[in-house]
Amino acid sequence: MSQLIDGKKIAAQIKDEVKCDVEKLRGQGIRICLAVIQVGKDPASTVYVRNKKRACEYVGIESLSYELDETVAEEELLALIEELNRNSKVTGILVQLPLPGHIDEKKVIRTISPDKDVDGFHPESTGKLCIGEKGLLPCTPAGIIELLKRSGIQVGGKECVVVGRSNIVGKPAALLLLRENATVTVAHSRTKDLKEITRRADILVAAVGKPLFITADYVKEGAVVIDVGIHRDEENHLCGDVDFENVKGKTSAITPVPGGVGPMTIAMLMRNCVAASQK
Ligand code: GUN
């Protein structure tokens, strides 16, 4: 029997823990405030931003919303971030990605003060992750580690394969698994014999960005499968990078979509908001 890794339940536990921390900090006179910037009206981003603000409300973190027009000039966005960096009431800053093509995403990420970088995307945060220094961790990869730990899945010494090499998920997930003493392989769109590689994995992290891409023939019998993807199938149902029904029977544990990694990203963001307020 495969274990269904319940990300919704684990995320709810973490949010409750954060809620307690926020209350304690309030008792010490520390207030946490997250500034959320959205540029344009991408429907998926709107849903993510709404869920992040709802989570803030639940745990007792104040959130400030900045909804900028799709055509906003890059300088205007950078000026807003600089103003929020200087604002001592604001303890965390999040710019929802992706940004419109005329805005340099890397420049925007670099402009956020590393102390307020609750997404963990700033080069200072990723550099610290790389050399094993304490810092703010990217939320989705941190959520993957937390899911594994809280599901009783040992990571140390395991063969882990991460499919995908994005700055947001693939690369930091690989670094975090390495930090947990796994043996890590990063595979990607140019990897030769991908199935050969993924079939070696005790823990397979799918961050491919293609719906239902990982089928049973990519998976070793008894593997743990973590699905980072979120897409809509032809019938408009949510699905992941993993063909869940096809793969499930072969796994020892698997995350569903929805209700797997997704809720963890927001729970870990709440945790980062608390950590940033201590800086
Ligand atoms: N777009 C997709 N995932 C994320 C995320 O974790 N943070 C931000 N800011 N934008 C995203």
Q: What are the tens digits of pLDDT across the range 36-93? A: 999 999 999 999 999 999 999 999 999 999 999 999 999 999 999 999 999 999 999 9
pLDDT digits (tens, 9 = 90+) for 144-184: 999 999 999 999 999 999 999 999 999 999 999 999 999 99
Q: Token pair for residue 202?
A: 């005790």
pLDDT of 112 > 90? The answer is: yes
Contacts 24+ apart (CB under 8 A), 12-15: 12/263, 12/267, 13/150, 14/146, 14/264, 14/267, 14/268, 14/270, 14/271, 15/55, 15/58, 15/59, 15/267, 15/270
Whether 94 is in the pocket of ligand 1, judged by its Cβ within 6 Å, is yes
Q: Which residues contact 64 (CB under 8 A, 6 or more apart)?
A: 33, 34, 35, 36, 90
| Residue range 127-150: mean pLDDT, rounded | 98
Mutate to test the pocket of ligand 1, among 56, 97, 265, 271 (most ligand atoms within 8 A of CB): 97
Domain 29-113 matches domain 139-262 at the CATH topology level: yes
- Ligand 1 pocket residue status of 205, Cβ below 6 Å: no
Residue 266: what pLDDT? 98
Ligand 1 centre and the CA of 68: distance in Å? 16
User: Rounded mean pLDDT of 189-199?
Assistant: 97
Residue spans of beta strands (DSSP E) within 5-150: 33-39, 62-68, 92-95
The distance of Cα 150 from the centroid of its chain, to the nearest Å, equals 17
Residues 232, 238: Cα–Cα separation, whole Å: 5
51 Cβ inside 6 Å of ligand 1:
no
How high is the pLDDT of residue 279?
87
Q: Domain boundaries in the chain?
A: 29-113, 139-262
Ligand 1, atom 8: closest residue by C-alpha: 96
Going from the Cα of 140 to the center of ligand 1, the distance in angstroms, rounded, reads 9
User: Bridge partners of 227?
Assistant: 206
Cα–ligand 1 centroid distance for 97 (angstroms):
5
Q: Please name the amino acid found at residue 270.
A: M
Judge whether 229 and 257 are in contact, CB under 8 Å. yes
- Cβ–ligand 1 distance for 265 under 6 Å, the answer yes
CATH superfamily of 139-262: NAD(P)-binding Rossmann-like Domain (3.40.50.720)
Burial call 105-137: b when 16+ CB within 10 Å, e when fewer: eeebbbbbbbbbbbbbbbebbbebbeeeeebbb
Which whole number is the average pLDDT over 116-137? 98
Ligand 1, atom 9: closest residue by C-alpha:
96
Which residue minimizes the CA distance to atom 4 of ligand 1?
Answer: 97
Q: How far is the CA of 194 from the centre of ligand 1 (A)?
A: 27
- Mean pLDDT over residues 13-23, rounded? 98
Distance from Cα 121 to the centre of ligand 1, integer Å? 9
Active site residues: 52, 96, 119
pTM score, two decimals? Answer: 0.97
The chain-wide mean pLDDT, for the chain, equals 98
Residue with CA closest to ligand 1 atom 3: 97
Cα separation, 127 vs 114, in Å, equals 11
Beta carbon of 139 within 6 Å of any ligand 1 atom: yes
Cis peptide before 263 (omega within 30 of 0): no
Q: Which CATH architecture has domain 29-113?
A: 3-Layer(aba) Sandwich (3.40)
What number does the ligand 1 atom closest to the CA of 119 have? 7
Ligand 1 nearest-atom number relative to CA 139: 6
Helix (H) or strand (E) run with residue 225 in it: strand 223-227
- At residue 221, the pLDDT reads 98
* Percentage with pLDDT > 70 across the chain: 100
Closest residue by Cα to atom 2, ligand 1, is 97
Does residue 272's CB lie within 6 angstroms of at least one atom of ligand 1?
A: no
What is the pLDDT averaged over residues 240-257? 98
Q: What percent of the chain has pLDDT over 90?
A: 99
Say whether pLDDT at 95 is over 90.
yes
Identity at 239, one-letter amino acid code: C
